Amino acid sequence: MRALREFPVLQLIRFSVITGKLTTGRLGTRYAQTEWVCLALAALFSAPLGAQEPRLIVTPARTSPGAIVRLTLEPTSAGSDSIVAISGQMGGEPVHFLERDSRVWRAIGGIPLGAADSVGARVVVEHFSGAADTLSAYVALPRPRPTRSRGRRRRSLSVDSRFTRPLDSATQTRIDRENARAGEVGRRAHSSPPMWTSAFLRPRPSTITSRFGSGRTFNGTVRSSHLGVDFAGKTGAPVQAANRGIVALVDRFFLAGNVVYIDHGGGVVTGYFHLSKTLVSPGDTVTRGQRIGMVGSTGRVTGPHLHWSARYGGLTVNPLDLLALGRWYGGR
């Protein structure tokens, strides 16, 4: 910046920025002034250089396993060579770009639960001319934390004896089969585009009693993670579809009890567990907010509540991240 201060045009911009701040009576910081000058410089010197490099941005740049992240693709500004296809993957799952205004494309991706250090996204943009751009971006993950947590007690489970008994092999086989069916629902959700046009809703308006990934301790060590979000509710309280989709699975599972899985397209599935009653059937199209079942305590639980889960393809992800998306993806 110092060398460029000799440019008369820059002096002019700096002068006008400072004058503007003085006349409006707002004293900007030196940092803010410098930022303005940099923006003006960028505008002055980038224009004659022509097309910009395509960019792939993943946000947030740092997150946790199980998160849903946002991918933004800003292709080149060379308008004559139109884009014919965009494909890509992140965390072993395909990503699905939707075009937004001003030639910006957006997609979401999931961070695998077992991921460490970083996860990469790789996207190929194919043009009408046959040219292709390959872009990569990375998300940083925290190093595994030491088991001792600061200033916050971890949940200690007082476990019902029927839950601590080892499972017989037939039961374990049943659980494996049910997990495989849920995984298959997730993979199939990649085969249709997003069906929703509004933000995801909470499945119940009630208090959240357990969050995603809350550490559960047993004899002082973390034994398992909670792979969903629990909402308070009495048996019979209503449960609503978080968004538009097609009911993919209704069944009674060993661990999850009475379940409903909704395929929203675009790789996204939501699951509703421990229901006392289900009100939909596989193949039904449900609207956002439609009542699909009632809170219960079926499956391996100690009391009535709603466990809400989400998948991105084969990955289990934090359903609260769907709420946080708002209309950023799949909205109009």
Q: Is 204 in the site for Zn ion (CB under 5 A)?
A: no
Q: Is 298 in the site for Zn ion (CB under 5 A)?
A: no
Cα–Cα–Cα angle for 235, 205, 232, nearest 5°? Answer: 40
The 10 Å Cβ neighbour count of residue 12 is 11
Closest listed residue to residue 94, CA positions, set 114, 116, 123, 73: 123
Q: Which is nearer to Zn ion, 70 or 216 (CB)?
A: 216
- As beta bridge partners, residue 273 has 307
Q: Is 304 in the site for Zn ion (CB under 5 A)?
A: no
CB of 305 to Zn ion, least distance (A): 7
Q: What is the dihedral of CA 314, 185, 305, 65, to 10 degrees?
A: 10
Task: Give 320's Cβ-side CA count (13 Å radius).
Answer: 12
Cα–Cα–Cα angle for 285, 85, 183, nearest 5°? Answer: 40
Show the tokens assigned to 310.
């989400």
Q: Is 274 in the site for Zn ion (CB under 5 A)?
A: no
CB of 14 to Zn ion, least distance (A): 57
CB of 155 to Zn ion, least distance (A): 12
Q: Is 230 in the site for Zn ion (CB under 5 A)?
A: yes
Kindly determine how many residues on this chain lie close enough to bind Zn ion according to the rule CB under 5 A. 3
CB of 325 to Zn ion, least distance (A): 21
Stretch that binds Zn ion, among 83-91, 128-136, 264-272, 300-308 (CB under 5 A): 300-308
Q: Which is nearer to Zn ion, 5 or 223 (CB)?
A: 223
Before 94, cis peptide (omega within 30)? no
Closest listed residue to residue 57, CA positions, set 328, 330, 332: 328
CB of 307 to Zn ion, least distance (A): 3
Q: Which is nearer to Zn ion, 244 or 311 (CB)?
A: 311
Q: Which is nearer to Zn ion, 93 or 230 (CB)?
A: 230
Q: Measured between alpha carbons, how far is residue 324 from residues 85, 101, 212, 328, 329 in Å? A: 28, 21, 14, 9, 10
Cα–Cα–Cα angle for 212, 109, 325, nearest 5°? Answer: 65
Show the tokens assigned to 31.
């940092």
Residues 103-132, interacting with Zn ion (CB under 5 A): none
Stretch that binds Zn ion, among 117-125, 168-176, 224-232, 248-256 (CB under 5 A): 224-232
- Single out the residue of 96, 106, 190, 307 in contact with Zn ion (rule: CB under 5 A): 307
CB of 226 to Zn ion, least distance (A): 6
Q: Which is nearer to Zn ion, 228 or 265 (CB)?
A: 228
CB of 312 to Zn ion, least distance (A): 19
Binding positions for Zn ion, rule: CB under 5 A: 228, 230, 307
